[in-house]
Chains A and B, each alone.
Chain A
Amino acid sequence: MSFNPLEQRGIPLDRQVRNWRELNVEPIDPDRCDPYTRCRVITMNGIEVEAILFSHQLARHTADPEIKRQLARVRYIEAQQQKVVNWLLPGVSSVLETTIAYEQVAVDLTAWVARMEPDPYLQQAYQFGVLEDFDHLYRYANLYEMIEHRKAESIVDNLTEVMPGRPTRFHHRDAYDNVRDPYDRHAVNPLSKLHALTIMSAEQQTMNFYMNTGPTYMEPIARQLYQEIGLIEEEHVTHYESLVDPGETWWEQLVNHEYNECYLYYSFMEQESDPKVKAIWELHLNMELEHLRVACDLMRRHDGREPQEVLAPELPNVLTFEPNKQYLRELLATQMDLTTLGAGYVREAHERFEKMQEQIHGGEAPPSDRVMAGHDEMFGREYRVQSEGEHPDPAMREK
């Protein structure tokens, strides 16, 4: 691939502000869109939300008012980008439908990143996490059929299977065991930095979404399930953010953020099936190229270093939304019973894990189990989509 964002010219910043008419995008069709178009929308919303929040944190650690103003200018454009991207989601979708789409993102984005990740320790972190998102998809899918009498396959469209992953009740670990070791910024493959930032941003937005929309439900089981899975998203953000080398300077992190946005908009532009959405990815790429140039200037000025020292010489292979069914089945067959211990992984329940399990469950079934019991009461079966055959783990087959 020959696309190098450092050598491209973007749209000048003072021509990036959009008016109301340009911000008023037409949403995608919930019943007929490509599910992976919706996944790309949700991913880029997570990326833009992270860009905004990161820029705010940076501004709060910046004394120079001129730099604060420079950050504010770019951040306002990013806020417009976030509005355009997330407003592609249709108003007729229920929170639960958007939730199922969020979990499809978590499954197929994390699985793809795990497949492509060159560093084995980082790869293990993604493999570990994806089996939990996979189980969340299954729990929400069952809740969805209970409340709306609809099947999750009308959203995920058989691109992603729906069946148990690592059971949600086991995701509640002592917070001590949620912190991983970071990669070494000098030694790591530049692609690994992009992966970590992407997955961290996606999980962070999922955490934000559940913590705010969960209480809009009136059904007790829905409220409780969002509370439970919302807490696991907090664990996931802790898990993924700890992979990033904290020794990166603020300016280096800013450059990485902007570079990653270029990478993702470029990737999605290359594969987008909806022409109107593709035009947005292309426009945003051309905006990001300028944001990257601004960030690179800031890094040169404040760190006295060239951004090329920390970035890849060219964009890596495009990040792709595609089915990962066989890969997930391999993980289901081999990694279901893992938990974390310190910065690593073990197969046995250890003392700290057991204690946390006792504390949080308080001797009762968690919402993620009760939703299945409630579903069984209503339908006398589970909801699953096992397009590739029986569950690879015999213990997880439907009784």
Chain B
Amino acid sequence: MSDIHTPQAGDDRAPDVDVVALLMRQHGDIRNLFDEVEQSSGEERRDAFRRLVRLLAVHETAEEEVVHPFARRALPGGEGVVKDRLAEEKEAKESLAALDGTDTDDPQFLPRLRELRTAVQEHARAEERYEFSHIRRHADVTTLASMARAVKAAEAVAPTHPHPGVESAAANLALGPVAALMDRTKDVVRKAMGKG
């Protein structure tokens, strides 16, 4: 791999006025973190995996709170589309649970990580094809932008990438508090969507 670093969504200079473009870039960020976990070892892998879990948690929560409700309401057949996505998310969460508690140096870790990666990737593409494309068709620019703001607000709950000075605090956030993190993310997103 080259030493060029792709910043995470929110850290690039994209205007982020379109929730779909933002989430698609986050899908790439998630894949990049999977690469990082696979290609590192020891403490570095543990750290990369923590960041991956946090980004997954925040990303999925934001989608559940922001994108799926809109799709359910606004898309013809939206109920069914969202139901399929939630089933995929459930599968991904089960893969994640299987990883939970496995040490990143355990020989079982990488095969399980790959299962998770496959589940997450299939889910992400299905969202892009069967949900996001319809959202762009049915949402006006104001809605796309306000949903983008809500997703970005969720990201601020738990930094999912190293920020100078907060590294050690972030490092403490192991797999345990993922459920709590999801709850906090939900609160922030609901506030941002004006439903606090």
Contacts and interface: CB of A to CB of B under 8 A. Distances in A.
Contact of A378 (B14, B24, B26): B14
B125 A92 contact: yes
A154 B25 contact: no
A150 B122 contact: no
Contacts of B35: 154
B29 A149 contact: yes
A147 B24 contact: yes
A154 B38 CA distance: 13
A20 interface: no
A154 B13 CA distance: 23
B45 interface: no
Interface stretch (B1-9, B153-161, B166-174, B180-188): B1-9
A153 B6 contact: no
A92 B4 CA distance: 25
A contact face: mostly helix, strand, loop, or mixed: loop
A379 B21 contact: no
B117 interface: yes
A304 interface: no
A153 B2 contact: yes
B112 interface: no
B21 A149 contact: no
Contacts of A145: 6
B133 interface: yes
A89 to B, nearest CB: 13
B6 A150 contact: yes
Given A150-B32, A153-B2, A219-B21, A378 B13 contact: yes
B8 to A, nearest CB: 8
A22 interface: no
Nearest to A381: B4
B134 to A, nearest CB: 11
Contacts of A383: 4
Given A145-B6, A149-B29, A380 B13 contact: yes
A385 interface: yes
A156 B25 CA distance: 20
Contacts of B21: 147, 219
Contacts of B125: 91-92, 94
A147 B25 contact: yes
A169 interface: no
B14 A148 contact: no
B32 to A, nearest CB: 7
Contacts of B7: 379
A379 B13 contact: yes
Contacts of A219: 21
A325 interface: no
Given A378-B12, A380-B13, A150 B31 contact: yes
A149 B21 CA distance: 10
Most buried by B among A147, A151, A381, A385: A151
Contacts of A91: 125
Given A150-B31, A158-B2, A387-B2, 4 more contacts: A31-B31, A150-B28, A151-B6, A154-B35
Interface of B: 1-2, 4, 6-9, 12-14, 20-21, 24-29, 31-32, 35, 117, 121-122, 125, 128, 133, 136
Task: Please give me the 8 A-B residue pairs with the lowest Cβ-Cβ distance, nearest first.
Answer: A149-B28, A148-B28, A149-B25, A150-B28, A92-B125, A378-B12, A378-B14, A92-B121
